[in-house]
Amino acid sequence: MNKFIISESEKQRILNMHKSSSSRHYLREATMAPEPVITNSMTVKIFFTKDGEYNLDTTDISTIKDWLRPLVKSSLPTIEKFYKDTTYPLPKFITIGAGTTSKGSYSANKVVAQNRIGVVSGIVFSLLKEMGINDEVIYKIITTNSDYTYNPTNLDANFYDRTKAKSQDKERFAYITVKQLTTKGLSQDQITGVEHGLEDAIDANGNPLFVNLDPDETEIVKQICKLKTYSDITDLNKRVGNLQKWVNDSITDEVFWDDSKERNQIMGCLNTAAKNSGKGKIVTIVGDKLVIILQ
């Protein structure tokens, strides 16, 4: 293995890294737990055959429950784990809404839509009760959306008489959107493993007086891409002192090689982890440096 004695400034940087590693042990106790994340969003629409209709027969009710039951079941472990969590409150798991046809006044259409929402909400509520979930939790995970203008897409209600408009079947509906939940994120031990993996990628045999001539950029990418959530990123940021600085100090272009591929891979993995937690893009590349924006 090629080794060389490093400059005083680089020696001091690595010594500081080891010193901070030993003094950061208390942060491990504060490592964020895994969090609830949305894995998939699915929507079903229930159509009504007549204007103003909102009641559903037993076949429709059974069909809705059969569609919804496995989606709820797959998310139950996460709901049960986080329903009291204030750090990671559950997102609204189920959204119920409705639409109406072009006919009738705004107020009349709103009443119809609310009736449809009420009926479908009752079906959903009934299923969740059947599955053993209590009322308090159900109200936490269900929300309704009745923010409709009830204006048809092909009619200028300011000019035409809405009462004479032709009904459109596609506008008579209620819908249920389910955002399936799962638990993602690294444990304290797993974050520690990533931290040690990064140290091993740049530190030769744990000796702060020597480093690899070429840090293992592939291993650095591999370790950072183990992060699954935004809280994983903030945890690792605490562990290494400043993740942006750590990466930019460790992955640098040299005369004979370009590390842009590795920087792009790290950017992609960090942005994916943030997206899992409902965050926007947090990493960009400026020149040959990563810019990581953490709240």
Q: What is the SS3 assignment for 46?
A: strand
Instruction: List residues bridging with 98 in a β-sheet.
Output: 174
Q: Which two tokens stand for residue 77?
A: 């472990």
* pLDDT given at position 203: 67
- What span, in angstroms and rounded, lies between the C-alpha atoms of 222 and 201? 10
* pLDDT given at position 230: 93
* pLDDT given at position 161: 62
Helix then strand then coil, % of the chain, to nearest 5:
50, 15, 35
Predicted TM-score of the model (pTM): 0.70
* Domain locations in the chain as residue ranges: 3-32+185-292, 35-183
The correct answer on CATH 3.30.1330.60 for the domain covering 35-183 is: yes
* pLDDT given at position 284: 95
* Cβ proximity of 77 and 183 under 8 Å: yes
Catalogue the E-assigned strands of the chain: 3-5, 35-47, 94-99, 142-145, 173-184, 210-212, 283-286, 289-292
* pLDDT given at position 108: 82
Give the helix ranges, DSSP H, for 36-105.
Answer: 58-82
Report mean pLDDT in 10-residue bins for the chain, 295 residues.
50 51 46 80 93 93 97 94 86 89 76 92 96 92 74 56 69 92 91 92 55 73 95 93 92 70 94 92 93 91
* pLDDT given at position 160: 62
CA-CA-CA-CA torsion sign (198, 223, 1, 259): negative
- What span, in angstroms and rounded, lies between the C-alpha atoms of 156 and 150? 12
